[in-house]
Amino acid sequence: MAMTLLKRRFVLVATFCVHAAYAAPATAPANGAPADAGPVAPADPVKDTYAGKTLTDNYRWMEGEPSAQFRDFLAASSNYADAQIGRIQGRAKLFADIEKFSVPYVAVTDVTPDGDTLFYLKRGPADDVARLMMRGGNTGDEHVLVDPETLPDAPPNSEIDQLAPSPDGNYVAYGLADQGPDSSVLRIYDTVRNRTLSERIPGTRFAAAAWLPDSSGFYYTRPVDRGPTSRRFLHLGVFLHRLDSDPARDTLVLDAEHLKLPFHAATIVPRIVLPPASDYALAELSDGVSPEIAVFVLPLVQVLEQSAPWRPLAAQGDSVTEVSVSGSLAFLLTHADAPTARVITEDLADPGFAGARTILPAGDGLITGIAAASDALYAARRQGSGMELLRLDYNQSVPEQVRLPFAGTIAPAYDGPGGLIADARSAGVFLSLESWMHPKTWLHYDLRLHRVVDPNVVPDFPRDTSAYQAIETTATAKDGTKIPLSLITRRDLAHDGARPALIEAYGSYGYSFDARFMPAALAWADEGGVYAVAHVRGGGELGLPWRDAGRMATKPNSSTDLLACAEALASQGYTRPAKTASAGTNAGAIAVAGAMLRRPDAFRAVLLRAGLLNPLRSEEYADGVINIAEFGSAHDPAQFPALLAMDAYQNVQDNTPYPAALLTGSLNDTHVPAWHAAKMAVRLAAATRSGRPILLRISQDPARPGHAQREALEADELSFLLWQLDEPDFAQAAPAPPARAKHARGKRK
C-alpha cells in the first residue's frame, strides 16, 4: 500500500475539550456580560530573562503537574461557566441543528486495501465510536472485527486510532486509546480465529506497524524508555515484534538518539516501512511537526543484520513530503525547485536524489499526495478550492485526469483518516472525497472500467444541502498578498452588513484547512450567519512558500492575514466588527489571539480551543520541545524575538477593551497543556476593560469525549459566540436558583 505520513505529527490540528471556566470582575457590566464575577486566580510573580530581556509571569504556578490548588480553581471555574452558558436560550436548537447534519450519516475512515480485502473504521448513526471492519473487495460482505464499546477489557470511551493489516490478511494490528493518543495501546486481531491476541504494546502512539512479508511480525515505533510521563515520547525507536512473543523482549532496530543517519531535530520520529511486493525496506525520519521527511533504503534481508548502511533516497534538506513504492521504484513528492511540488522517481537498488527523474512536473496546481499501485502512479492535485485526481500509467509519460463526482478535497497524507490509498500488489486506488457541502465519501478507481466507482462503504448522505452554498473569494493583506477565503452560507443570506460571522484560521505546520464537511458550519448558517475559513499564511494551501511566509519571524502574517479577511467580510457587505467572531484550535490560536491583540476592535468575541498561547514556555514540557522546528526556541537569541512576538500571554496589554473570549482545554492534554489557556484567561480577564466575559473551559475527565459529547461542546461554543454577537435568539435567560455543583475536582495522578 502507499506509504504515507499517517499520524506522525505530535501536534493535533483539532482538539475537542470539556468544561471549565473563568471570568474576572468587569469594570462595568456590558450587554452580553455577566454582572457577577467568577473565581479569581492568585498571582505569584516569577521573573525570567531571555536574550537580555526580563519578563514577568504571574501564573507560573499553574504549570507542571496539576496541583490541588489548580484543580480546585478549574473545578470552581467550571461551575461558573456552566451557569453562564447554560442560560443561553438558543443553545438547544443549535445543538439539534448540528445533530441533524451529523448523526444520520455513516462515517468511514482509514480505508486500507490489503490485496482483495478492505479494512476500515466505521461509525454508524447509533455509534459513539468507530468499529474495525473487514470486507472482501468492493462487493463482499462486511464483518465487524473489533467494537471498542463491547471489548471486555477496554476502558470506557476507548477509540481505535490506527490499523495495519498483515500482507496475508490474517492479522490486523490496531491501536486502542482511551485518554488521547498518548494512551494508545497496540493490539493484534486474528481474522481467522476471530479473536484479539494476548499481546499488549503500550506507548504506541506512533506505531505505524509495518508487517513482515510472511506476516510473522511487524516493525513499529514506540518510546525506547518506558517512563511514566509523556517525556518518554522524546526518545523513540523502531522495534521488531514477533507474534506470540513478549513485547518487553522486542528487538530495537532503529534508535532515534543513536542514529547513524544524517538527521537533526529536537525530537526525531523514526519509522520503518515495508512496501508490499518489494524486497526493500525504507526508514523515514521526521521532526514530528514538519511535513518534510528524510528517507533511506536498505534491502529487507539486511535490516535485522544491519550488515550494510542505509542509503539515502532523500536527505533532510530535499523537501520531500511523501514517498510511495511499486516494486523496485520509489516515487517521491518534493518541493525542491518546485513551489507547487513535483514527483520524482528513484531506483531502490541505486538511489540518488540528485539524479532522480521528474515524472510529474510542477504546474499551476499544488500536488498534495501520491500513491503507487500495480498499474500506475496516482496523484492528487489542488486546483483552486477543489482537487483533481491524476493517473500516470507506468508505460506513459503524460498523466490523465480522472473525473470525480464532485469538486472536493482528497485528504493529504498527514490527515491520516482520509487520502489516497493504494496497494502496490493491486490495480487502482482508493480515495476519500469531501467538500463544504458533502460529507466524506470513499471512491475506487476501477482499471477495468477506467473510471471511479462507489465501493459502497458509505451510504448516501440523507440530508439535503441545496439550501446552502460555498463561496470562494479572497482578501488582500497589508502587503498586497491575496489570501484565499472560503465562506459557507445559506443561499438566501441577506447582505445587510449585520450577519453574525465566524472566521476560523489555522496557519501552522504547513497544514491546509481544505474543504471538509462541518455540520456546525451549516448550523451557524441556519442562524443567518456566515461561517468563514481564512487560509492564512503558515498553512500549506499554496505550497511550502505559503508555509514559510507564516513561520517563525514571518508568523505575524498569520494574524494580519486573518484581520484582512475580517475586513473583507465587512467590505463585501456580510457583516461588521460588532457581529464578527474568530476561532482557532491548537496552533491556530496563535493567529487568532495575535489578531485580537493587534486589533481588539476587529472582533466582538473569540474562541480559542486548546490554544498554544504561551509558546515561550513550550520547551518546558515534552510535546512542546518538538515545536522548536516550527516556532523557534526561547533559548536561542536569534529566535527569541519572533517567539516573543507570537506569545499571546506575554503580549496582553492592561486597560484594553478586549472582546469576549471562550478558552478551552483538557487537563490530560499533553500536546497543549491546559495551563496555556488558564494563564491566558486570567491575564486577559485582569487586563480587559470591555466588560465582556472571559470564560475558560477545562476538562478534568481522563476519558476521551465521545461523538455526542463533542457535538454538545460545539453547540456550547457557538452559542457563546452568538450570545456575544447579540443575536436575539441567544440572549441569556434569568439565572436559575443555586444548584449543587456538578463538577468535582478530578483525582490527582
Distance separating alpha carbons of residues 379 and 373, to the nearest angstrom: 11
Distance separating alpha carbons of residues 127 and 706, to the nearest angstrom: 9
Does the domain at residues 46-101+463-730 carry the CATH identifier 3.30.70.20?
no
Looking at residue 738, its pLDDT comes to 62
Give the residue extent of every domain in the chain: 46-101+463-730
Distance separating alpha carbons of residues 332 and 319, to the nearest angstrom: 10
Collapse the DSSP code of 97 into the 3-class scheme (helix H, G, I; strand E, B; otherwise coil) and give the result.
helix
Residue at grid coordinates 524575538: 641
Looking at residue 154, its pLDDT comes to 85
DSSP sequence for 267-329: S-EEEEE--TT-SEEEEEEE-SSSS-BEEEEEETHHHHHT-S--EEEE-TTS-EEEEEEETTE
Distance separating alpha carbons of residues 160 and 447, to the nearest angstrom: 32
Q: Name the nearest CA neighbour of 375 among 427, 325, 431, 429.
A: 427
Looking at residue 15, its pLDDT comes to 33
Residue at grid coordinates 473545578: 75
| Helix 707-724 vs helix 91-102: crossing angle, to nearest 10 | 140
Sequence-separated (6 or more) residues with CB below 8 Å from residue 236: 206, 221, 222, 223, 224, 256, 267, 268, 269, 270
In this structure, the dihedral spanned by the alpha carbons of residues 523, 77, 669 and 703, taken in order and rounded to 10 degrees, is -80
Please tell me the pTM assigned to this model. 0.90
Looking at residue 414, its pLDDT comes to 61
Our CA angle for 107, 113, 116, nearest 5°, is 120
655: left (phi over 0), alpha (psi -120 to 50) or beta: left
Distance separating alpha carbons of residues 228 and 379, to the nearest angstrom: 42
Our CA angle for 556, 662, 696, nearest 5°, is 115
Collapse the DSSP code of 559 into the 3-class scheme (helix H, G, I; strand E, B; otherwise coil) and give the result.
helix
Looking at residue 232, its pLDDT comes to 63
Looking at residue 203, its pLDDT comes to 87
Distance separating alpha carbons of residues 400 and 568, to the nearest angstrom: 38
Looking at residue 265, its pLDDT comes to 85
Looking at residue 106, its pLDDT comes to 85
**Any bridge partners for residue 312, and if so which?**
296
Residue 438 contacts residue 387 (beta carbons within 8 Å): no
Residue 221 contacts residue 269 (beta carbons within 8 Å): yes
Residue 559 contacts residue 529 (beta carbons within 8 Å): no
In this structure, the dihedral spanned by the alpha carbons of residues 509, 510, 513 and 514, taken in order and rounded to 10 degrees, is -150
Q: Name the nearest CA neighbour of 432 among 119, 120, 109.
A: 109
Residue 37 contacts residue 84 (beta carbons within 8 Å): no
315's grid cell:
536527505
Query: What does pLDDT average to in each consecutive run of 10 residues of the chain (749 residues)?
Result: 38 34 36 64 95 95 94 89 92 93 82 91 87 88 93 86 94 89 88 95 91 96 75 83 95 86 88 93 91 94 83 94 95 94 96 95 93 96 90 96 95 72 94 94 95 92 93 97 98 95 96 94 97 97 93 96 98 97 97 98 98 94 82 94 97 98 90 94 96 92 74 95 97 75 41
Looking at residue 384, its pLDDT comes to 80
CA 346 to chain centre: 31
SS3 content of the chain, % helix, strand, coil (to 5): 20, 30, 50
- Amino acid of residue 6: L
Residue 364 contacts residue 372 (beta carbons within 8 Å): no
Looking at residue 26, its pLDDT comes to 32
